[in-house]
A = this chain, B = another copy of it.
């Protein structure tokens, strides 16, 4: 076998190893449930759904965005949960969370060959920092999708956490930075949710 075909084989085997490892995202369960079935949603199917949100709703971004970038970020944004598990939005905060996620991101994306490992890690870090137009819009969708999901499932996790309208504004208000249209929609959903008693007014 020539050196170049040896390199190819080793590069491909690192890539396949990463792709096998991330199968585990299908076994990370979120607080939210599916609309049609009484089971919890997992982070892999959530990631697919949120990328569909990006494909369908891209036109509502406040600023011009590179859709490919938004979609790539959303595809990888939850992969760290393979090591850290999901932390529901309304659960108590963990001060060590950020550090744990960074370690997880370095381990998981580090399975890829260079320079791909660095490219994927950078995508994830850009999403976490939220400092580009694409990351701002991707983060808006990441807050918006569970609001819609809860609205279809009698308030979903809101009643369990006894969430108030003020907390919703605090924790999801940055949807507006990425999309005023989606924020208006979220506020209409909150109004209905307060009327139903799913969110405390």
Contact = CB atoms under 8 A, between A and B. Distances in A.
Interface of A: 8, 12, 15-16, 18-20, 22-27, 34-37, 41-42, 44-45, 47-49, 51-53, 55-57, 60, 67-68, 71-72, 75-76, 112, 116, 148-149, 152, 181, 185
Given A19-B56, A23-B34, A35-B23, A12 B185 contact: yes
Q: How many copies does the complex hold?
A: 2
Contacts of A20: 35, 148, 152
Contacts of A51: 48, 51, 75
A89 B159 CA distance: 43
A185 B11 CA distance: 12
Contacts of A53: 19
A72 B44 contact: no
B12 A60 contact: yes
Contact of A52 (B34, B57, B68, B75): B75
